[in-house]
Amino acid sequence: MDDILVLDYDDTILPTTYLKEQFSVEELFDDSPPPEMLDNLQDNIIKVLDSLRHFRICILTNSGNRWIPLTCSKMLPRVWEWITEKNIPIYEAKVRYESYYTDPTTWKQYTLRDAMVNISRVGRIFSFGDSEHDMKAVQNMAEEIGCDYRLFPFPVHSSKEELVRHWEFVHTHLREEVL
| d(C-alpha 25, C-alpha 169), whole Å | 29
CB closer to Mg ion, 3 vs 8 = 8
- Which amino acid appears at position 79 of this protein? V
CB of 13 to Mg ion, least distance (A): 9
Asked if 154 contacts 164 with a C-beta cutoff of 8 angstroms, the reply is no
CB closer to Mg ion, 2 vs 96 = 96
- Virtual CA dihedral for 105, 106, 112, 115, nearest 10 degrees? -150
Reference 104, options 125, 126, 135; nearest CA is 135
CB of 118 to Mg ion, least distance (A): 26
| d(C-alpha 38, C-alpha 15), whole Å | 10
Residues engaged in binding Mg ion (CB under 5 A): 8, 10-11, 130
How far apart, in Å, are the Cα atoms of 7 and each of 10, 33, 70, 138, 142? 10, 26, 17, 10, 15
CB of 131 to Mg ion, least distance (A): 5
CB closer to Mg ion, 68 vs 125 = 68
CB closer to Mg ion, 3 vs 10 = 10
CB closer to Mg ion, 42 vs 62 = 62
CB of 63 to Mg ion, least distance (A): 9
CB of 91 to Mg ion, least distance (A): 14
Asked if 94 contacts 62 with a C-beta cutoff of 8 angstroms, the reply is yes
User: Helix, strand, or coil here: 28?
Assistant: helix
